[in-house]
Amino acid sequence: MSEQTRFTTALATFDSAVRALPGDRLGSHTPCAGWDVRALLNHVVGEDRWAVELLAGRSIADVGDSLDGDLLGEDPFAAWAAASAAAAAAVEAAGPDAVVGGPTPVAEYLRQLAADHLVHAWDLATAAGVNLRLDTGLVAAVAEWFAPVEETYRSYGMVAPRPPLARDAEPQARLLAMFGRSEALATVERFQAAFDAAFDDKDVDAVMACMTGDCVFESTAPPDGERHAGAGAVRAAWEKFFAGTTVEHRIVAEERFDAGDRVAVRWRYEWPGGHVRGVDLFVVRGGLVAEKLAYVKG
């Protein structure tokens, strides 16, 4: 995979995430700590506008602070479309021996841009509640490039600490962990958001979209819970459960613990006149919930 192909593939991945983003999600939090969707989009738009300038031969000093601040204006999606199109054209026109910002070869610069667009595409999709599966070839290429420099990036605070990771984790989960992201934790957060919405809408499809085909759910029914294995059985269990709820019933996640492909969640289930506390133990596989084992305080 050439550096230009790597970049254009990552650019297209981010673009697809933008196009799938509902307009009311600009304020939603993302897995990139401290950034909501608008801030993340503004960052990537800024990167692409910087790329146009640097690939045209301008220096960092030439650009100065002209690309600081809000670059999205009143139409963030139009700002992205313009910036990404300009960046794609600039990359296509760049010579293989060019340097950017002084000493950086254009090939290395494009590797950096590809990595940032790819990881932030996952951030954006996750904020939108989408389980984005990244291009496997691009995942491998970015991981190979980033491995020797990962700890250098981390020492400068450019990526967060690695979260726990299962030994048999898939390549995408490993890449995200290199950049300080937890696919397992993001999956559970997405599942809980779908579950919360299902209380109001009784939308079992939204919950099942977060689970694998061979999923397992163990309920809290006494004395030892009821086990439901397979998508059909789990779906039937959710349908029965939601049939007995109203908008006044709700589950509030109080705390989450991430441990590789497993996530533990402390929760409080509330209904008119009472509540109970419990714990869910999740197993995540391929960005989907494979097991949800529920326990309550006796």
Query: What CATH number is associated with residue 260?
Result: 3.10.450.50
User: What confidence score (pLDDT) does residue 138 get?
Assistant: 97
Say whether both 16 and 163 belong to one domain. Answer: yes
31: cis peptide before it, omega within 30°? no
Decide if 178 is inside a domain. Answer: no
> Is residue 176 in a domain?
no
Q: H or E segment at 24?
A: none
**CB-count burial class (<10 Å; 0-12, 13-18, 19+) for 296:** middle
In a domain, 268, yes or no: yes
Q: 13 near 117, Cβ under 8 Å?
A: yes
Asked if 100 and 245 sit in the same domain, the reply is no
Using an 8 Å Cβ cutoff, are 146 and 178 in contact? yes
Are 140 and 217 in a shared domain?
Answer: no
Q: Specify the number of domains making up the chain.
A: 2
Average confidence (pLDDT) over 242-263: 91
* pLDDT top residue among 98 and 176: 176
CB atoms within 10 A of CB 12: 15
Residue 4 one-letter amino acid: Q
Statement to judge: residues 22 and 134 lie in one domain: yes
**CA 126 centroid distance within chain:** 4
Cross-strand bridge partners of residue 270: 250, 275
DSSP character at residue 29: B
* CB-CB contact of 94 with 106 (8 Å): yes
Residues 17 and 123 in one domain: yes
User: Do 199 and 290 have their domain in common?
Assistant: yes
Q: Are residues 193 and 260 in the same domain?
A: yes
Domain containing residue 7: 3-171
161 & 85 share domain: yes
pLDDT tens per residue across span 40-82? 999 999 999 999 999 998 988 999 999 999 999 999 999 999 9
pTM over cut 0.75:
yes
Q: Are residues 133 and 281 in the same domain?
A: no
The residue out of 145, 171, 197 marking a domain boundary is 171
138 shares its domain with 237: no
pLDDT over 90 for what percent of the chain? Answer: 85
Percent of the chain with pLDDT over 70: 99
User: Tens of pLDDT along 152-171?
Assistant: 999 999 999 999 999 999 99
Per-residue CA distances from 168 to 165, 174, 265, 289 (Å): 8, 9, 22, 16
> How far is 32 from 265, CA to CA, in rounded Å?
21
Confidence (pLDDT) at 97: 72
Burial of 66 (0-12, 13-18, 19+ CB in 10 A): exposed
Q: Domain holding 35: CATH number?
A: 1.20.120
Mean pLDDT of the chain, nearest integer: 94
Q: Are residues 15 and 126 in the same domain?
A: yes
Sign of CA dihedral 146, 176, 263, 261: negative
